[in-house]
Amino acid sequence: MVVCLLGLGMVIAYVDRANLSVVLALKDFIRLFHLNDLDRGLLNSAFFWSYAALQIPVGWAVDRYGTKLPYAIGFLLWSLTSAATGLIQNMGQLVAARVLLGVGESVSTAASLRWIRFNCAEGERGLATGILFSGTKFGAAAGVPVAAFLIARSGWRSMFLILGLGGLVWLIAWFPLVRNDHRRPWPVEPMRSASVTSLWEMLKTPTMWGIILGTFAYNYFIYFCLTWLPAYLMEARHLSLNSMSVYTMFSFGGMAVVGIFAGWLSDTLIRRGRDPIRIRKIFTILGFVAASTEIFGGISHSRSVAVFFALFSLSGLGLATANYWALTQTLVPKSAIGRAVGLQNFASNCSGIVAPIVTGGLKQLTGSYAAPMIAVLIVLLLGVCSYGVLVREQAWDRDGVTI
């Protein structure tokens, strides 16, 4: 129940961060705030300025104070901020709202993964992590059509108010279901451990740098789709608001389903005796390769081909979703999991800063989406190399203890 609740929390988080991408595809909104393509990229990026910057501090906070209270405080802040976005009157207020939304949501991943690390064994984490991160995809899948529906019915201001305040219902279930675990001892299980677990020691290893670069690559494509896919489908492929929302829903929804299935399948193979590191690396690399096929849609003149590869590439990346996070939990010392996840999530959200701005800048410079698609392909190939070459079983301490 708690894993599903954590997944639902991710759904709500991604609904609240994805709804702006729908608004930024509206011609009336663009005219109201006098936005160009680079402005739209900056607005999509603003959320990640604070979100990325706070990943390491919130990793420390959940290691120190547990999952329950930090997550509840962050959830309350981001829900109220999302609702307040419906009241903004100028560009400065809109940027400030997105930055504050990032502050509230910054705790969600580290807190959720800490709970899984404490409560799920190695052979269960793939499925648990798949359910958790399927929430990010279901949130994006649901957020776009729900936002489009509410905008069509009530306008964009009411949409922000309804979605922001509606999410507060989640807290009613959170408090009775989750224990306050900030004083709970580290779980005892037959796993390998290391004596030195500082962040600096981890950063000395190629494995950690491979995780950082691979995470950046994975999420560069995610945030390209999350922030620019609605505009791409409407402007370059001439879909209506309703058609765009349906195709976006199926793209992210397909990724969520594949993510859960890949997490279950990798867990099954591991329980049958396969090496966890090897299995999770294979799934992760296959996900990157599948995502790279988006370039075929980007360079095609056919709308049906473009829509097919938008669906296929994003769904295919689901092979990596659970496994690249579970791989980190396998390789990183358990006493530093909050900090390691914070560092990994910092890398993932640096791509959230970069991808919208680079996409907007390249589109404004070239007048098309071809150059942004090529940039996506280059970054995904970097991810393949990172997980294929750098990420491996790693010695973390000076005494040669390997985990």
CA distance 250 to 193: 41
Kindly give the confidence (pLDDT) of every residue in the chain, 403 residues in length, as a single tens digit, with 9 standing for 90 and above. 888 999 999 999 989 988 888 888 888 888 888 888 888 888 888 888 898 888 778 878 887 888 888 999 999 999 999 999 999 888 889 999 999 999 999 988 888 888 887 877 767 777 787 788 778 778 877 888 888 889 988 899 999 999 999 999 999 999 888 877 655 544 444 444 434 456 677 777 788 888 899 999 999 999 898 888 888 888 889 888 888 888 888 888 888 888 888 888 988 898 888 888 889 999 999 999 999 999 998 888 888 998 899 889 989 998 998 788 778 877 776 666 667 777 787 788 788 889 988 998 999 899 888 899 999 999 999 999 999 888 876 554 433 344 4
- Residues 384, 233: Cα–Cα separation, whole Å: 27
* Helix and strand counts by DSSP (H, E) for the chain: 19, 0
Buried b (16+ CB within 10 A) or exposed e, 134-165: bbbbbbbbbbbbbbbebbeeeebeebbbbbbe
In the chain, what are the domain boundaries?
A: 2-182+197-390
The H or E element spanning position 210 is helix 206-235
136: its two tokens: 């990010």
Q: Quote the pTM value.
A: 0.72
Nearest to 13 by CA among 47, 58, 62: 47
| CATH for 2-182+197-390, options being 1.20.1250.20, 2.60.40.10, 1.10.3720.10, 3.10.310.30 | 1.20.1250.20
Beta pairing partners, 402 = 395
Cα–Cα distance for residue pair 130/34, rounded to 1 Å: 40
